[in-house]
Amino acid sequence: MNIKKRNTIYSLVAIALFLAFLYWLDANRLKQGMMISVLQKGAILALVAVAMNLLNGFTGLFSLGQAGFMSIGAYTTAILIIPVKSLDGVYYMNGVHPAIMSLRVMMAESPPFLQSLYPFIALLLGGIIAAVAALLVGLAVLRLKSDYLAIATLGLSEIVRAIFSSPQFDQITNGSYGLNKIPNFPSMLWGLIPSLVTPFIITGVCVAFIVLLINSSYGRAFKAIREDEIAAEAMGISLYKHKEMSFVISSFFSAIAGGMLAMYMRSIEAKTFSIMLTYDILLIVVIGGIGSITGSVVSAFLVTAAKEWWLRFFDRPLTLFGMEVPLFRTGFRMVIFSILLMIVVLIYRRGLFGTNEFSWDAVRRRLGRRGKEARS
């Protein structure tokens, strides 16, 4: 059979194996709690990382505002899916805004078929609001040169955070107390797909869309802008239109990831979406390789897993052969991460994957070469 068919079959088999693994995890939920939460968080961060890579790596626009768009998605989703009976409890300080209450009551009275769709509608709505915000903001900000764009988007993220945590908007966002009692992921297809698997499906669909985008003519336009703006413009690529498109799409998916983060964490506050979150995602993107989607996805899972594992390993005192190893204390793993980031930035500038993507051919080549060596 031809190569394309073979590759597709490989991919389908891999996906099927992964899904089977997830179903097994679902059956063993109690024992495998840590693995589940690491994988889910990895999936969420993978989506943001890919969104950030789209903007920074493929279009060359250095933006540090991901956390702001994530927070828009997270708050929108949270406000729309916290159970109506818990609303008063969550907004216990200042009461919930009557408009929100009436909207939620109206939603709660709609048919159950519609109700099971609401979490997804909430995610989409969060994405759309973020996209609109990005559209408006982009008008102003995308003209700036790279380092100014970085600071401007960073500032925007902080402005969004300040707005969400300000006491003036207490009745909508609960000010700086944050929102809790957010329900977990919904199950899909009437229980066929358990709630545990939902974030992976959502991430998968979104990443697939971005991959399709990159491989289309729009994606080529983005890369052209990254390489040389003036030449791209000379070739007839509308700089403004494509930059806006990249910015808007990236924000849309960041917001969806933010909404998923809200469902994962069950309680959010504006402080969750601070500059440190953007730095964390930047770390993932850099380690994975700026310009490689596979890199971002793989790196997201690895970094999340490493953080959890290292949390137990490096942050607790370690006794080797009866002696306490001096350096191991709380906070050590973050120091190691920072050093790792510096090493990647200074020395291994291409990161794990550089600008390469995953391909079954590369895997075969690697295995094949070793096989050939073994045979000869």
Partner 1 sequence: MKKYAIAVLAILMVGSLLFAGGGAEKKDGPKEVVIGVFQPLTGENGGGGYQETLGIRYANKMYPTVVIGGETYNVRLVEADNKSDKTEAVTAAHSLISSGASVIIGSYGSGVSIAAGDIFQDNKVPAVGASCTNPQVTLGNDYYYRICFLDPFQGTVMANFAIQEGATKAAVITQLGDDYSSGLGNFFARAFRDLGGSVVSEQQFQTNATDFKSILTNIKAVNPDVIFAPSSIATAPLIIKQARELGITAKIMAGDTWENSSIIENAGVSAEGVVLSTFFDDADPATAEASKFIEGFRKYLVENKQDEIIPAVSALGYDAYLTALRGIELANSTKGPAIRDALALVDIEGVTGRIIFDENGDADKDMAFIKVVENGQFKFLKTVSVI
Partner 2 sequence: MSMSTILQHCLTGISLGGAYALIAIGYTLVYGILRLINFAHGEIFMMAGYFMIFSLASFPWPIAIVITVVVTTLMGVIIERVAYKPLREAPRMSIMISAIGVSFLLQNLSTYLFTAIPRGYPEIPFLKRIFRVGDVSASFVTILTPVLTIVLVMVLMGLINRTKTGMAMRAVSKDFETAKLMGININRIISVTFAIGSFLAAVGSILYFTDRMSVTPFSGTLPGLKCFVAAVFGGIGNIPGAVVGGFFIGIVETLLVALGYSTFSDAFTFLLLIVMLLVRPTGLFGEKTVEKV
Binding site for partner 2 (CB under 8 A): 56, 60, 62, 140-141, 143-148, 150-152, 154-156, 158-159, 162-163, 165-167, 176, 275, 279, 282-283, 286, 290, 329-332, 334-335, 337-339, 341-342, 345-346, 349
Indicate the residue among 200 and 314 with the shorter CB distance to partner 2. Answer: 314
Indicate the residue among 177 and 360 with the shorter CB distance to partner 1. Answer: 177
Task: Please tell me what DSSP assigns to residue 235.
Answer: T
CA distances in angstroms from 331 to 26, 225, 328, 354, listed in the order given: 32, 40, 8, 29
Q: What are phi and psi of 192, to 5 degrees?
A: -65, -40
CB of 185 to partner 2, least distance (A): 30
CB 95 within 8 A of CB 31: no
CB 216 within 8 A of CB 10: no
Indicate the residue among 6 and 266 with the shorter CB distance to partner 1. Answer: 266
Q: What are phi and psi of 289, to 5 degrees?
A: 110, 115
CB of 347 to partner 1, least distance (A): 8
CB of 67 to partner 1, least distance (A): 12
Indicate the residue among 1 and 30 with the shorter CB distance to partner 1. Answer: 30
CB 125 within 8 A of CB 76: yes
Q: Tell me which of partner 1, partner 2, none is bound by residue 151, counting a contact when its beta carbon lies within the kind-specific cut-off of 5 to 8 angstroms.
A: partner 2
CB of 163 to partner 2, least distance (A): 7
CB of 6 to partner 1, least distance (A): 25
Q: Tell me which of partner 2, partner 1, none is bound by residue 311, counting a contact when its beta carbon lies within the kind-specific cut-off of 5 to 8 angstroms.
A: partner 1
Other residues' Cβ atoms within 10 Å of the Cβ of residue 102: 10
CB 178 within 8 A of CB 269: yes
β-pair type (319-320, 323-324): antiparallel
Contacting positions for partner 1 (CB under 8 A): 31-35, 37-38, 86, 89, 92-93, 165, 167, 175-178, 180-182, 184, 265-272, 301-303, 305-306, 308-313, 330-331, 348, 352
Cα–Cα–Cα angle for 130, 133, 138, rounded to 5 degrees: 120
CA distance 290 to 281: 12
Q: Tell me which of partner 1, partner 2, none is bound by residue 96, counting a contact when its beta carbon lies within the kind-specific cut-off of 5 to 8 angstroms.
A: none
CB of 91 to partner 2, least distance (A): 18
Indicate the residue among 143 and 329 with the shorter CB distance to partner 1. Answer: 329
Indicate the residue among 97 and 350 with the shorter CB distance to partner 2. Answer: 350
CB of 251 to partner 1, least distance (A): 22
Indicate the residue among 44 and 270 with the shorter CB distance to partner 2. Answer: 270
CA distance 372 to 61: 44
CA distance 218 to 233: 14
CA distance 124 to 77: 9
